[in-house]
Structure 1
Amino acid sequence: MQVRYLSIKPRSRILAALALVPCLAGCFASPGGASSSDDGRPGSRLRVALAFPPAENFSPYGADATLLSRLGVAEGLTALDANGAATPALASSWRRENDRTWRFTLRDATFQDGTDVTPSAVAAALTHATRAKPAPAALAGVTLRARADGDRGLRITTAAPDPVLPMRLSSPSLAILSPKAYGKADRPDPVGTATGPFEITKVNGGGSATLDRYDDYWGGRAQAAGIDARFVKDGTARANAVRTGDVDIAEAVPVAQAATIDEDTLREAGTTRTTSLQLNTRSGPFTDPELRAAARTAIDSSALVKGVFEGYADPGAGIYGPAVTWAENKRVKPAGRAKPARPDGTRITLATYDNRPELPEVAQVVQQQLQKAGFTVKLEVREYSRLESDALAGKFDAFIGARNSLLDTGDPVGILASDYTCDGGYNLALLCDKKVDRAVAEADRTDGTGERQDAAMAAEAAVLGTDAVVPLAHQRIIVGVATKVRGVLLDPYERTLVGAGTRR
């Protein structure tokens, strides 16, 4: 993964942005009089602004799972490296014993409540995850059983062969918590029960959280004394807090606000998130593959990258983008694409959501490009929760959304199965193509990291050959980081931000 400092271009929106945003001074003061001095000494607290507040009391079984991993609170048995391969975390090693059984060896570690990380405790934590309703996304369609095997061993058996189990166990939704976390409530409580370098000590609703250093962390004592986290939904406010020095780290700085911040405090990294145009293949004009081809050829993704993302993205190359480091050298050229037809005023409805501020702008540019090619385009923009069911039901002819191409497990086959097969649960293109289904099934049966990647790229080519999806842009994350801060963790999966080595 490449992280680089940015060269900032002036934008006309700077003065308006600064005039509209109130000063956040005082909002990020350390609770309880804890030190937040700017003297740069190890042990200072970190002030962090996050974009999304906890929605489920920090339960790892839902959207809050990444909050726990990004703040250095919770860990799984494994993690993902920059190439998408499983790497040790709470498990120091593992081996596959047969098609359905893996044995993991645990490292010496303790939970934040002082109890030991034992095989029985880990087995119990995974068992709780398998019984959660709804099931964590990483376990969708997977049945597993975990049991202790000796002092440091853990044996996990799956109902069907699962060649990507070590990658699956890296999901933040499968974080390991101590037995104390699993009380009578349906969702576990990670406060003081996780294993990471920082432990949650206080939660103030959806507004803020206080975290202190966990001194007995197996990976070594964290260099920061703690974290004062604030949940700031407004991207302009997050950017302003960095600009004025009210925070040390602010995630997800909007593209439009980057120019309000000194270039020395901006960092950028590629992500596995791709913005795509999905075309309804089941009903409406785009059942015709020639009209889908016409839509594909009408799109100029470089104009989107330059005009909407202002350079903070890469042109759409496929379902997997540059942050999936192995993909480009393995990419297969789509075959069998239809010849583009003349749209001749064909009427279509294009939809997107406004939860991600760049998407309505993307949709407007795509609308213009399609209209220039001869389509007549009606644009609908809604909040995502009011849009999803209609999109999945095929109420729109085209849909623009942003999607993590490695989903919850890091397995490249996951998005192909869920988004582009007849039985896929998030098939916005409503694609049902026998060749695609065969290619995805073959990829899903393939073992070995390199071989599975090759099979995934062959399946990607099969999907792209239908023109059911038009990749538009591969997004980058922009993070505001104070000049005195070191060790911020930017990864393409957007799972990490603060770790044991993060300091100021």
Structure 2
Amino acid sequence: MLWVVAPRSGARPLPRIPWKKFPVHVTRPLTGACLVLTAALTLTGCFAPSDQSADGADDRVSVAMLQPPRSALSPLSDDAFKLSRWSTAETLVVLDDNGDPQPGLATEWTRVDDTTWEFTVRDGVVFHDGTDLTADAAAHALEYAAQAAPKPRILDGVDLTVAAEGDTVTVTTADGDPLVPHRLSSPQLSILAESAYDGDTVSPVGTGTGPFELVEVNGTTSARLERFDGYWGDPARLSGIDVTFVPDGTARAAALRTGEADIVEAVPVSQAALLDQELLTEVPMPRTNTLHLNAADGPFADPGLRAAVRETIDRRALVEGVYEGRADVAEGLLGPALPWSADRPERTASTEATDPDGVAITLATYSDRPEQPEIVTVLAQQLEDAGFEVEQAVREYANIEQDMLAGEFDAFVLSRATVLDSGDPLAYMASDFSCDGSFNIAQLCDADVDDLLAEAEPLATGADRRTAILAAEAAILATDAAIPLLHERVIQGDAAHVADSAKDPRERLLVTPRTRLD
């Protein structure tokens, strides 16, 4: 019997649909169950329960993910992190727990001079389409990313050229860049087979190198992966992965509680207390929830009004109220996931607050993360108590991103991973707070900030670079264009029979070759 359980007690078993009668794969269209779940939870899709064998050696894992693909799973976008979490697309370099680069599809590398790096490509790697990984194939993937418009965020401000010779890929940058290996660890620079690239389109279906092959994508609803037996590393313990995209946090939590999903991404804080605590893992994340104020246009072009917001916000109320204590009050843009950030210099206010006196503002966020609308509601009340008139705007991320980046709102609350790309927070700061940053929600352009970011950029990893990063952070905070609210902890749900799923603060790993169902 196939149990399809609605998020209520007293669920009944439904007859198993005879999938083997179909000549092609279908995505388990359990229509009746979907209707029940949709009515109860506004669920966007149904889950495919794992087919566990008696010895646990030929199992599929069902995964409920937070956000659907935004760019058709293009590795040049943030969708790349889904490919990485499914272990289907890989990079030349990976990062260890300390954020230091380690061999991936490249076995070693050398810094030839200030602007030139050579990477030796691993031998014996086969793409999912049957072609071999070569230096030429790796160079083709990197060159395509470097020439893309827009570029992957990891290459913001980086002029990069690539060449191949023998088993070596040479990466040259216009300026000295000590973080080239870190950059090449970003899932946005995954190495796919040449067949993946067709004009302006990049398809990861059947073109990666990982232990799981992506074989089917059903729009923004689901995806299916199969174990790739030609994998160059340790073989996967699972036979496959069934992914369902479920933006509704209540539905994701219900899927864990009822057993419809084996692994659940981003269990909402509001749902965590309702679940078996032994199924949850809580990890401090390099992710900060920040209030961005439009420093270029509108009321918050006035530094005094930005200072008024900074003095008004009660961060502790957000942590204790919205997050039920499952977060950390922000002292800066960087949080406890980066322990060295606690050595930041003491901050002093540089601008006196101006009385809001009824100034009208728009405060916006997105609904994909369930805590975000709640934060906006609490912030709106705090700001209104201080004298602002607040209009709230909440939409799905896909429908608000363009206006957010164009500066259409006076204030925007964003949950942002601070070392998502390179493992080094400077790339995040440059992208979000420099004059030329591509993700500059606050429309901030400050000479002191840009100068300090530029000073930190050429420094080698280590104490001096970290000190320079904290100086840049202090300059950003001094503008009051970005007011960090709290540092998040991710809550991941794993069914009791799931073993060795990754609990990754950087959100790059989830299902790995070691993951299994016991």
The TM-score bracket by the shorter chain reads: 0.7 to 0.9
| Deviations 1:191-213 (CA, angstroms, capped at 9, x unpaired) | 33211111123334443332222
Sequence identity (%): 49
In structure 1, how many angstroms separate the alpha carbons of the residues matched to 2:172 and 2:476?
32
In structure 2, how many angstroms separate the alpha carbons of the residues matched to 1:21 and 1:380?
22
* Match among 79, 94, 99 for residue 64 of structure 1: 79
* Match among 186, 193, 202 for residue 171 of structure 1: 186
Residue 448 (str. 1) matches residue 464 (str. 2): no
Counterparts in 2 of 1:407 and 1:212: CA distance versus 1, 3 Å: closer
Residue 146 (str. 1) matches residue 159 (str. 2): no
Match of 2:48 in 1: 28
* Match among 110, 116, 119 for residue 135 of structure 2: 119
Question: When the two structures are aligned, how many residues end up with a matched partner?
Answer: 483
Amino acid at match of 2:80: A
In structure 2, how many angstroms separate the alpha carbons of the residues matched to 1:321 and 1:372?
28
| Deviations 1:33-56 (CA, angstroms, capped at 9, x unpaired) | xx424x562332212122233344
Larger deviation: 279-288 or 44-53? 279-288
Contact 1:23 1:241 (8 Å CA) reproduced: no
In structure 1, how many angstroms separate the alpha carbons of the residues matched to 2:474 and 2:287?
18
1:71: how far off?
0.6
In structure 2, how many angstroms separate the alpha carbons of the residues matched to 1:87 and 1:376?
51
Match of 1:289 in 2: 303
Counterparts in 2 of 1:219 and 1:327: CA distance versus 1, 3 Å: farther
Residue 324 (str. 1) matches residue 338 (str. 2): yes
Unaligned 5+ runs, structure 2: 1-6, 10-36
Amino acid at match of 2:235: R
Contact 1:344 1:374 (8 Å CA) reproduced: yes
* Match among 488, 493, 500 for residue 475 of structure 1: 488
Report the TM-score, using the length of structure 2 for normalisation.
0.85
Residue 235 (str. 1) matches residue 255 (str. 2): no
Counterparts in 2 of 1:385 and 1:197: CA distance versus 1, 3 Å: closer
Counterparts in 2 of 1:376 and 1:198: CA distance versus 1, 3 Å: same
* Match among 371, 377, 381 for residue 368 of structure 1: 381
Counterparts in 2 of 1:214 and 1:271: CA distance versus 1, 3 Å: same
Counterparts in 2 of 1:274 and 1:455: CA distance versus 1, 3 Å: same
Contact 2:44 2:245 (8 Å CA) reproduced: no
Residue 246 (str. 1) matches residue 260 (str. 2): yes
Residue 354 (str. 1) matches residue 367 (str. 2): yes
Which secondary structure does the structure 2 equivalent of 1:402 belong to?
strand
* Match among 96, 101, 104 for residue 89 of structure 1: 104
1:342: how far off?
4.1
In structure 1, how many angstroms separate the alpha carbons of the residues matched to 2:44 and 2:194?
39
Contact 1:351 1:399 (8 Å CA) reproduced: yes
1:478: how far off?
1.6
In structure 2, how many angstroms separate the alpha carbons of the residues matched to 1:389 and 1:115?
38
In structure 2, how many angstroms separate the alpha carbons of the residues matched to 1:441 and 1:197?
39
Structure 1 residues 152-163: aligned runs within 5 Å: 152-163=167-178
Contact 1:196 1:214 (8 Å CA) reproduced: yes
1:501: how far off?
0.7
With a CA cutoff of 8 Å and minimum separation of 6, indicate the structure with the bigger relative contact order. 1
| Consecutive aligned runs of 4 or more in structure 1 exceeding 6 Å deviation | 22-26
Which secondary structure does the structure 2 equivalent of 1:67 belong to?
helix
Structure 1 residues 51-450: aligned runs within 5 Å: 51-108=66-123, 109-150=125-166, 152-182=167-197, 184-329=198-343, 331-335=344-348, 337-450=350-463
In structure 2, how many angstroms separate the alpha carbons of the residues matched to 1:100 and 1:376?
52
Contact 2:47 2:62 (8 Å CA) reproduced: no
Which secondary structure does the structure 2 equivalent of 1:126 belong to?
helix
Counterparts in 2 of 1:209 and 1:395: CA distance versus 1, 3 Å: closer
| Deviations 1:172-229 (CA, angstroms, capped at 9, x unpaired) | 11111123333x4532332332111111233344433322222232221111122122
Contact 1:163 1:447 (8 Å CA) reproduced: yes
In structure 2, how many angstroms separate the alpha carbons of the residues matched to 1:24 and 1:460?
39
1:389: how far off?
4.5
In structure 2, how many angstroms separate the alpha carbons of the residues matched to 1:24 and 1:401?
23
Amino acid at match of 1:249: I
1:24: how far off?
11
Match of 1:6 in 2: none
Which secondary structure does the structure 2 equivalent of 1:260 belong to?
coil
Contact 2:44 2:246 (8 Å CA) reproduced: no
1:345: how far off?
4.1
Amino acid at match of 1:155: T
Contact 2:73 2:80 (8 Å CA) reproduced: yes
Amino acid at match of 2:430: A
Which secondary structure does the structure 2 equivalent of 1:115 belong to?
coil
Counterparts in 2 of 1:67 and 1:395: CA distance versus 1, 3 Å: closer
| Deviations 1:427-485 (CA, angstroms, capped at 9, x unpaired) | 33233322222112211232334322221111001111222221001112222101121
Amino acid at match of 2:286: T
1:347: how far off?
3.9
The CA RMSD over aligned residues, in Å, is 2.8
1:392: how far off?
4.2
In structure 2, how many angstroms separate the alpha carbons of the residues matched to 1:244 and 1:71?
23
Larger deviation: 78-87 or 488-497? 78-87
Amino acid at match of 1:84: G
Contact 1:25 1:246 (8 Å CA) reproduced: no
Counterparts in 2 of 1:423 and 1:42: CA distance versus 1, 3 Å: same
